[in-house]
């Protein structure tokens, strides 16, 4: 995924939530001076492999076997803690630093890549935590246009950004655990973000020519209708 392809979706997300592009760009620039370029070729061993994309929904604890059976495990946010506590090694963590940045710091110092996301609402966390991470194992990301070492590989929430990252580096098959688009415990904002996550996974599913079981409870025609108003 390149930014030119992703940009129409990004602009629609901004309009839907009333977010400002300038705030994202400011966060990106702050991240840029606190990070170094991460060579994505270092994730080359993901190519052609089954990659498990772990979300942080409560159902994760019942689905850990999916991660055990995968070749590569990418964990979103607190899913990293749940999997490690269950004895599952993770190969990458994707986070916007809002819940468990100390886990991300520890992972980078242990030599596990962390995709740390900068957006308009988390500038204080970017300032505080990025300098603490081991830069050699930190991939700084943005939802705005990429700049310097900060990349945009597609996606909006931690979970779907993890899927887009896996796709970008050549994953052979994506499997999902710890996802619940209808989680009754989330608030209205998170619910809307989950709706976008479903749309973005459907977009990725179409681009890959793959079927994601995690979307089988969603109306794909409805997702397609929303996407077709934005992307070709």
Q: What is the mean pLDDT of residues 4-32?
A: 97
- 19/21 Cα distance (integer angstroms): 7
CATH number of 3-228: 3.90.1480
**Chain segment 124-136, per-residue pLDDT in tens:** 999 999 999 999 9
**Chain segment 109-163, per-residue pLDDT in tens:** 999 999 999 999 999 999 999 999 999 999 999 999 999 999 999 999 999 999 9
Q: Indicate the pTM of the whole model.
A: 0.97
- 96/76 Cα distance (integer angstroms): 9
For the record, the structure tokens of 220 come out as 């794909």
Q: Domain coordinates of the chain in residue numbers?
A: 3-228
Q: Quote the strand ranges of the chain, DSSP E.
A: 50-54, 72-76, 92-95, 114-118, 138-142, 173-177
């Amino acid at each position: 995924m390149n930014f030119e392809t992703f940009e129409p979706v990004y602009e629609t997300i901004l309009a839907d939530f009333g977010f400002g592009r300038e705030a994202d760009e400011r966060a990106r620039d702050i991240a840029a001076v606190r990070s170094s370029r991460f060579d994505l070729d270092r994730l080359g061993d993901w190519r052609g492999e089954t990659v498990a994309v772990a979300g942080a929904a409560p159902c994760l604890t019942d689905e850990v076997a999916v991660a055990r059976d995968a070749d590569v495990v990418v964990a979103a946010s607190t899913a990293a803690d749940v999997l490690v506590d269950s004895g599952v090694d993770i190969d990458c963590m994707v986070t916007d630093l809002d819940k468990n940045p100390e886990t991300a710091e520890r992972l980078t110092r242990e030599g596990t890549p962390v995709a740390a996301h900068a957006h308009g609402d988390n500038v204080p966390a970017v300032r505080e935590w990025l300098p603490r991470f081991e830069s050699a194992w930190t991939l700084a990301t943005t939802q705005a246009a990429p700049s310097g070492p900060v990349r945009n590989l597609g996606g909006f929430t931690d979970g779907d950004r993890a899927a887009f990252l896996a796709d970008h580096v050549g994953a052979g098959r994506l499997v999902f655990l710890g996802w619940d688009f209808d989680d009754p415990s989330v608030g209205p904002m998170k619910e809307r973000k989950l709706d976008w996550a479903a749309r973005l996974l459907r977009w990725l599913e179409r681009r890959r020519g793959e079927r994601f079981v995690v979307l089988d409870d969603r109306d794909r025609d409805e997702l397609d209708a929303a996407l077709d108003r934005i992307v070709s």
